[in-house]
Amino acid sequence: MSIDEQPNAPEPEQPGANPDFNAPVPPPVRGGGRNPLALVVVGVMAAAMLYFGFHMARRAGSDAPHLAGKSSVAPDFTLESLDGKNMRLSDLRGKAVLLNFWATWCGPCKIETPWLVELQKQYGSQGLQVVGIAMDDSGKDDIEKFAKDMGVNYPVLLGKEAVGDAYGGVPALPESFFIGRNGKIVDRIIGLKGRGEIEDAIKKALDTEAGATPTSTASATVQPQK
Amino acid sequence: MLLRPHASLCVLVLIAAGCFAQAGKAPSVSMIPVGPVTAQRTKQTIVDLDFRVASGFHINSNAPKSEFLIPTSLKMDPPTDIVLGRVQYPAGKDLSFPFSPDEKLNVYSGDFTIKVAVHPLRSVVPGKYAVRGTLRYQACDNAQCFPPKTLPVNFDVKIVKEPSQGHRNPAQSPHVHN
């Protein structure tokens, strides 16, 4: 039973009964004013709103600042590859691109990499280009060794924070973006998922038409720092 | 049974906080504050540094099994004339994860303790000193990994004088008693 529902709750003392005449007298508490059930309902609603509000904010935040999510144009960038050449994403227009953010210290990435190697072999002739972006702080040598050990058959670029930011911050790895032939993002996979899920997203990207060059890439263009 | 209204609200706030924690999925390692440490000059005192890895996450141990994995490491910056001895890391647990079922990783999860030996030199003026440092770790959950992070580590140590030594050769009575 709620304390407010006690039928014999003592009445507040009258001023005359209080030995300290100057002490403030608390207002009488009315038991019928608060319905515990209503409070619980309000509380549950508040918690639900907080939860969903947070979820929405997080989703929006993860896509910020440039990336609006699926169907938006993939932010363009130029990054150095392991062989020392610069590679620009927009040069791959007309191909379906699997942009895979990874790192040598990422265990799940190690599982995913052989799948990407196989998928590049399988769908390369249909126009798929896997591109790895290594987000390591460690040197190029470690990345090169990892890529060699894993038999990577696609370009690996040396990641920059600015590129990660353009793609929503990439807070955890692996994270893959599937870009259609028209340069638009058609799907995104965060964390390690099944090979089948990656393959489905690749097919989605391959199914797109190479449209006209999008014009909204300028603000999202990231150049490597000199 | 009905709870008091404000108690119900507190429970709901806790539930909401739990939802936040789950939704945020922020990997965290926290340090449990170190109690008072008293170290005697010229003697070695072992200090236990207790850490907690948030539920659902793990971090590599100090000796992970792959050269590419980032080991958990403690780096301390003690005040002058307080020497820190070798850092003793706990053994990690060999666990396999859904992302690596055939390979066991050596990790810390839940609570773990790193021991540090504090050795104040004779030249240290007795008093309270702050020892600062960082714990570098790299956390993962079952499907994704998070970039390496550093956690500030600090504890205070009270340095006291070594007890005065008794006279090895107490003064002898000049008188010879036969």
- The predicted-structure confidence for A163-200, as pLDDT tens digits, reads as follows 999 999 999 999 999 999 999 999 999 999 999 999 99
Q: What is the CA radius of gyration of chain A?
A: 29
A201 Cβ neighbours under 8 A, 6+ residues apart = A98, A176, A178, A186, A187, A189
Q: For residue A133, which of A74, A168, A87, A181 has the smallest C-alpha distance?
A: A87
- How far apart are alpha carbons A108 and A212 in whole angstroms? 36
Of residues A54, A106, A137, nearest to B20 (C-beta): A54
**Mean per-residue pLDDT for B21-26?**
48
- The predicted-structure confidence for B24-74, as pLDDT tens digits, reads as follows 456 689 999 999 999 999 999 999 999 999 999 999 999 998 888 999 999
Q: What does the pLDDT read at residue A16?
A: 37
Q: Which residue of A has its CA nearest to B66?
A: A105
Amino acid found at B158: K
DSSP state of B15: H
Q: Which positions in chain B touch A104 (Cβ < 8 Å)?
A: 68
Q: For residue A86, which of A179, A180, A184, A155 has the smallest C-alpha distance?
A: A155
More confident residue, B77 or B11: B77
Taking the Cβ of residue B9 and every Cβ of chain A, the question of whether any pair is shorter than 8 Å is answered with yes
* For the ranges A206-220, B1-15, B154-168, the one whose mean pLDDT is highest: B154-168
Of residues A3, A107, A172, nearest to B4 (C-beta): A3
Which residue of A106, A112, A136, A165 to mutate against B (max B Cβ within 10 Å)? A106
Q: Which positions in chain A touch B19 (Cβ < 8 Å)?
A: 47, 50-51, 54
Interface touch A111/B4, C-beta < 8 Å: no
Amino acid found at A132: G
- How far apart are alpha carbons B138 and A172 in whole angstroms? 11
Which residue of B145, B146, B150 to mutate against A (max A Cβ within 10 Å)? B145
Question: 3-state SS of chain A?
Answer: CCHHHCCCCCCCCCHHHCCCCCCCCCCCCCHHHCCHHHHHHHHHHHHHHHHHHHHHHHHHHHHCCCCCCCCCECCCEEEEECCCCEEEHHHHCCCEEEEEEECCCCHHHHHHHHHHHHHHHHHHHHCEEEEEEECCCCCHHHHHHHHHHCCCCCCEEECCHHHHHHCCCCCCECEEEEECCCCEEEEEEECCCCHHHHHHHHHHHHCCCCCCCCCCCHHHCECCCC
Q: What does the pLDDT read at residue B166?
A: 60
- The predicted-structure confidence for B122-153, as pLDDT tens digits, reads as follows 999 999 999 999 999 999 998 999 999 999 99
- Distance from the Cα of A69 to chain B's closest Cα (Å) equals 19
- The predicted-structure confidence for B79-118, as pLDDT tens digits, reads as follows 999 999 989 999 999 988 776 677 788 999 999 999 999 9
- Distance from the Cα of A211 to chain B's closest Cα (Å) equals 34
Residue A28 — pLDDT band, cuts 50, 70, 90? Answer: very low
**Mean per-residue pLDDT for A15-37?**
47
Residue A69 — pLDDT band, cuts 50, 70, 90? Answer: low
More confident residue, B87 or A223: B87
Amino acid found at A173: L
Q: What are phi and psi of A112, to 5 degrees?
A: -75, -35
Q: Which residue of B has its CA nearest to A191?
A: B144
A154 Cβ neighbours under 8 A, 6+ residues apart = A116, A117, A120, A129, A130, A131, A132
More confident residue, A50 or B108: B108
Q: What does the pLDDT read at residue A173?
A: 97
Q: Which positions in chain B touch A41 (Cβ < 8 Å)?
A: none
Interface touch A110/B100, C-beta < 8 Å: yes
Q: Average pLDDT over chain A, rounded to whole?
A: 77
Q: Which residue of A has its CA nearest to B15?
A: A47
Compute, in degrees rounded to 10, the torsion defined by CA atoms A78, A83, A85, A86.
Answer: 0
Over 80: is that where the pLDDT of A21 sits? no
Q: What does the pLDDT read at residue B157?
A: 96
- Distance from the Cα of B1 to chain A's closest Cα (Å) equals 7
Q: What does the pLDDT read at residue B12?
A: 47
- How far apart are alpha carbons B64 and A145 in whole angstroms? 18
